[in-house]
A and B are shown apart, each in its own frame.
Chain A
Amino acid sequence: MLDVGRHPNIKLLAYSELERLEGDAGNFTATIRRKARYVDEDKCTGCGACAQVCPTPVLDLYNEGHAERKAIYSWFAQGIPSTHAIDPDHCRVLNGKKCGICQKKCEAGAIDFDQTDVIIDLPVAAVVVATGYDVFDPSRMPEYRYNQLDNVITAMEFERFLSASGPTAGHIYRPSDRKVTATIAELEKKVKKSQKALDRFEKTHGKKSDEFYAAYTDGSLKPGEDLEKDQDKWAKRVEAHLENANPLAVLKEKAKGFTTAKKIAFIQCVGSRDLRFYPFCSGYCCMHSIKEAIIAHEHDNDTHTVIFGMDIRAVGKGFEEYKIRGGNNSNISYKRSRVAEITRNPDECPVLIYEDTREQKIQRQAFDLVVLATACGPVKGAQKIADTLGIDLDRFGFFKTDPSNPLDTSRDGIYVCGCAHSPMDIPESVAQASSAAARAAQTVIKKNDQKAS
């Protein structure tokens, strides 16, 4: 990644989109829209001081919505370029409100609220399409209740939980527990504030709030005491305090029982190999689940995992061996089954309902956490990209190629690689990327030779 950032032959146009492509192989003109970052790329050093002071929290999609970033942000800490960007949907200034704190803070003077999109035309001889994929949205499968059950998450969300730089610093806390913890933190803040108000009363009157309130409610307060002008106010404050303090105590008691997730289920083929959604296989998800299970076990040796799938497709160099190693050393068991439904126990544990074909019985099994291995599908807007480029999609919605020329799209001079071609894992993507580069290079060399001769 770094190498791209500093290679003299690579001009990095991040936060940009292709608008139009005209001409022919050897002689295209690409029109690119460079979206306004509202941050000067030449001046920004990526120090991040702006994001520290920005008052507007925004859901962080890099962390799959399990953390917050600010309205001025870098996509992720090690991102290249490190130039920050302002999210125009959330920034106060860009939405007509008063703020501009980041501009004051930025010592490089890089913040520019007046920046606009810039359209540039580039003459190019060939195009490599590496637009990748989008993950299937599991809320489209009603039986898995992804939207209703907190502890049913996607493999990419789990990936962020596993990451030391992720929202839980690598510890597998259940999302339902995290919600409670977040509520506790919120209530604690409120309670601390209301306690301060009570402290003032207590100091003035030399009496504990609870003693006072007990007396107040049973009517034993004598009017002669020096409380008259304060007592109603104080009582109100106490009531307001208890409104938060009582549920806080309950939640804190509940949170005492929280541990990290130790029984984890993976469900394979969520959205793939399914005629309702994607008929095809995403190729990498079996291995992805095994990897996540192994890493989870590395974090906590008490973790037990069950991977539910039709086939376990460990198809790649060293993959079968990896799968076996996972089973032997990492408490992973593989269950051949397609899970029919997920429900929930009162303790928020998701319950899987599936058929054990060998026993010919319907089984119900509860887990702390369920991870959905969601399918790799064509990138959102693939049709639009195909239209812009003037190339065809295949029956599955990926960019179409011919098996004997596996990199060539339907238009001369345009090549495709990686998951834009079809679902594949990293080494295949890398090998194919080199191949697409070779095809692009050949086009440039041939077209230039033709021109010269």
Chain B
Amino acid sequence: MNTHTLTPYEAPRIGVFVCDCGSNIAGHLDCPDVAEYAKTLPHVVYVKENLYTCSEAGIGEIKKAITEQNLTRVVVASCSPRTHQPLFSSSCAEVGLNPYLFEMVNIRDQCSWVHMGTRDAATQKAKELICMGVAKSAGLEALNEIESSLIRKILVIGGGIAGLSAAQALGDMGLDVILVEKTASLGGLLQQVHQLDSGVMAKEALSQIIDDVRSQSNITCYTSATVTETGGYIGNYDVKIETQTGLVEEQVGCMVVATGAVPLIPEGILGYDGRQVISLMQLEQLLQRDKLDAKRVVFIQCAGARTPEREYCSRICCMIGVKNAMLIKDKYPLTDVRVLYRDMQMYGTHKEQMLWDARGKGIRFDVYTPDNPPEVENGKVTFFQAVTGKTQELDADLVVLSTPLVPRNDSGKLANMLRVPTDQNGFFLEAHAKLRPLDFAADGIFVCGSGRYPATSTEARTQGIGVASRVAAILFKEKLVKSAIVAQINPDACVGCMACLPMCPYEAITYNRDKRICEVNEVLCKGCGNCAATCPSHSAMLRGFKPQQLLAQIGAA
């Protein structure tokens, strides 16, 4: 045991507050008896039973007791720490007791609620739980929250519609932005698109945003540039950018990944030849240059998507297919336009309306099934019409293959550099599929646009703007403040075995080659305790849950 972290022994003065929670607790166990028992526990100098400890009156009692009784530890035996710990510990702090000297015991959720009807047993269990809580509280240490500085500058990687929207929104919020685009021009995939589903020309929509981004003095754009190195952590990243004029080193507080995706080139799929059988993106360019010359056009949806090799649905190709089918029909009304599909993914209000409109214009939609895919040969498309069960042959002088967006081939490299995950398809993996679609699990790094999963231009723009919110929620603060419940590694005891490194889900531990020990970055650490459980030399410990604290708790049981 190292000596220099030991504090001089000082007998703690513990106050225990037992909550009746109306009848939620008191209805099923004997609270006065539990309170009497608490008085007998070591170091307990004050006990109070409250009708509701969380009520204003209850909180008042805690504060009063801390001041008048000189309490140095507070234990509340009530409900769930998930809901009430912050209230109680901050109330302690208000009268000068370090919030980490507060301990909570749940005698409701896992005690009174589950032992209804066995009053004596419930009472006994509550006593034991409190005994354990008091034992742990005696060993608690005062801790200070961890603070760290924030650089109010953001690196946005990718200059497509998502990255541009993020940069624009962040700039509008008064933050400094560095926008890095790999190619020579801003605009991404939309530069190759003819007209958007809203009827606006893609070039016009883009140039409006690009002009605005270029005009903002707090946004620096680097084109033909790549990010080559990143280091540091939330609030303090060091990045290196290879630009046309040489290497630029920057410090930023947050990073945004907006690298987009690329359309699959359907080599070897459905007779693709690039002339009579083309991809959707090639069609966009034909339309852009007004070079379309065909009397019979057949679109085949899900070309290379929703297959065993590429299971996912690329979300946007049905809409783009229908949009272009309509454009062709509008411009050349005598052209026969047919769409072969599996499921028309025209979700939402506007897209489904497009589908109604397309049918109204005389575009024909037919269902095929994946077990019986269409065949394209010599200007003919043969397919099994799933609805009628008949095989049909269509003449086509142009076949358009609606191919999915696929991840960029260098996205894995970027993911490695940023130490963020990708999913089984190679798209960047967000922190939570439902509730945190724009965050990475690593704090301070965000994702938007088709690099995460194929998105329409409107969706990519929405996500780009949304990222600005997520970033500002961090960078608008004066400094980063986080819980003191983090891991620490005793440098004298650590043997540098690195067993803790792979256990840390937050990449918060690094190996110091000079000292040959492992070190915790407190800003990155989230206090999960994996390292402490793994460490063979017991040199890794989680503050607030140190072995001696937990052993005291267990020992009391």
A residues sitting closer than 8 Å to B (CB atoms) are 2, 6, 42-43, 45, 47-49, 52, 107-108, 273, 275, 279-281, 283, 311-321, 324, 336, 357-360, 394, 396, 398, 403-404, 406-407, 422-424, 426-428, 430-435, 437-439, 441-442, 445-446, 449
B residues less than 8 Å from A42 (CB atoms) = 56
A432→B459 CA distance, assembly (Å): 9
The answer on a CB contact under 8 Å between B465 and A317 is: no
Task: Tell me whether A45 and B469 are in contact in the complex, defined as CB-CB below 8 angstroms, given that A316-B315, A317-B452, A434-B438 are known contacts.
Answer: no
A255→B452 CA distance, assembly (Å): 52
Interface flags, B355-390, vs A, CB<8A=1, else 0 = 010000000000100000000000000000011110
Asked if B346 lies at the interface with its beta carbon under 8 angstroms from chain A, I say yes
- Can you name the residue of chain A whose Cβ is closest to the Cβ of B427? A317
B residues sitting closer than 8 Å to A (CB atoms) are 21-24, 51-52, 54-56, 82-83, 86-87, 169, 172-174, 196-198, 200, 205, 208, 306, 311-313, 315, 343-353, 356, 367, 386-389, 423, 427, 433-438, 452-453, 458-459, 461-463, 465-470, 472
- Can you name the residue of chain A whose Cβ is closest to the Cβ of B470? A434
The answer on a CB contact under 8 Å between B315 and A438 is: no
- In the assembled complex, the CB of A243 is this many whole angstroms from the nearest CB of chain B, namely 36
User: Per a CB cutoff under 8 Å, which of A47, A273, A445 touches B23?
Assistant: A47
**B interface: dominant SS:** loop
The answer on a CB contact under 8 Å between A438 and B173 is: yes
The answer on a CB contact under 8 Å between A430 and B348 is: no
B residues less than 8 Å from A273 (CB atoms) = 352
A406→B464 CA distance, assembly (Å): 11
The answer on a CB contact under 8 Å between A431 and B462 is: yes
B residues less than 8 Å from A360 (CB atoms) = 388-389
The answer on a CB contact under 8 Å between B198 and A403 is: yes
User: Per a CB cutoff under 8 Å, which of A317, A403, A441 touches B196?
Assistant: A403
- Can you name the residue of chain A whose Cβ is closest to the Cβ of B439? A434
B residues less than 8 Å from A398 (CB atoms) = 349
The answer on a CB contact under 8 Å between A357 and B348 is: no
Given A407-B465, A428-B459, A442-B172, output 4 extra A-B contacts at Cβ < 8 Å. Answer: A359-B389, A406-B462, A424-B348, A438-B468
Among B22, B313, B348, B349, max chain A CB count under 10 A is at B349
B residues less than 8 Å from A321 (CB atoms) = 311-312
**A interface: dominant SS:** loop
The answer on a CB contact under 8 Å between A431 and B466 is: yes
- In the assembled complex, the CB of A40 is this many whole angstroms from the nearest CB of chain B, namely 11
User: Per a CB cutoff under 8 Å, which of B343, B349, B459, B472 touches A313?
Assistant: B343
The answer on a CB contact under 8 Å between A315 and B86 is: no
A315→B197 CA distance, assembly (Å): 18
Among B198, B346, B469, max chain A CB count under 10 A is at B469
A residues less than 8 Å from B169 (CB atoms) = 438-439, 442
A residues less than 8 Å from B313 (CB atoms) = 314-315, 319-320
A-B contacts counted at CB < 8 A amount to: 174
The answer on a CB contact under 8 Å between A438 and B469 is: yes
- In the assembled complex, the CB of B159 is this many whole angstroms from the nearest CB of chain A, namely 18
- In the assembled complex, the CB of A235 is this many whole angstroms from the nearest CB of chain B, namely 42
Among A2, A358, A424, max chain B CB count under 10 A is at A358
User: Per a CB cutoff under 8 Å, which of A404, A427, A434 touches B433?
Assistant: A427
A315→B351 CA distance, assembly (Å): 13
- In the assembled complex, the CB of A414 is this many whole angstroms from the nearest CB of chain B, namely 16
B residues less than 8 Å from A49 (CB atoms) = 22-23
- In the assembled complex, the CB of B211 is this many whole angstroms from the nearest CB of chain A, namely 14
- In the assembled complex, the CB of B462 is this many whole angstroms from the nearest CB of chain A, namely 5
Closest 10 CB pairs of A and B: A47-B22, A434-B466, A311-B343, A435-B466, A403-B198, A438-B469, A280-B349, A283-B347, A317-B453, A435-B465
The answer on a CB contact under 8 Å between A318 and B433 is: yes
The answer on a CB contact under 8 Å between A320 and B438 is: no
A424→B455 CA distance, assembly (Å): 14
The answer on a CB contact under 8 Å between B462 and A108 is: no
A98→B33 CA distance, assembly (Å): 38
User: Per a CB cutoff under 8 Å, which of B348, B459, B465 touches A423?
Assistant: B348
Task: Tell me whether A47 and B433 are in contact in the complex, defined as CB-CB below 8 angstroms, given that A281-B347, A403-B197 are known contacts.
Answer: no
B residues less than 8 Å from A439 (CB atoms) = 169, 465
Task: Provide a sorted-by-A list of 11 A–B residue pairs whose CB atoms are within 8 angstroms.
Answer: A47-B21, A47-B24, A280-B349, A319-B313, A321-B311, A430-B434, A434-B438, A437-B469, A438-B169, A442-B169, A445-B172
A376→B353 CA distance, assembly (Å): 15
B residues less than 8 Å from A428 (CB atoms) = 437, 459
User: Per a CB cutoff under 8 Å, which of B172, B348, B423, B435 touches A281?
Assistant: B348
User: Per a CB cutoff under 8 Å, which of A6, A275, A314, A316 touches B87?
Assistant: A6
A residues less than 8 Å from B435 (CB atoms) = 426-427, 430
A435→B446 CA distance, assembly (Å): 13
The answer on a CB contact under 8 Å between B472 and A315 is: no
A428→B469 CA distance, assembly (Å): 15
- In the assembled complex, the CB of A52 is this many whole angstroms from the nearest CB of chain B, namely 8
The answer on a CB contact under 8 Å between B343 and A312 is: yes
A357→B174 CA distance, assembly (Å): 59
The answer on a CB contact under 8 Å between B24 and A435 is: no
- Can you name the residue of chain A whose Cβ is closest to the Cβ of B52? A45
- In the assembled complex, the CB of B325 is this many whole angstroms from the nearest CB of chain A, namely 17
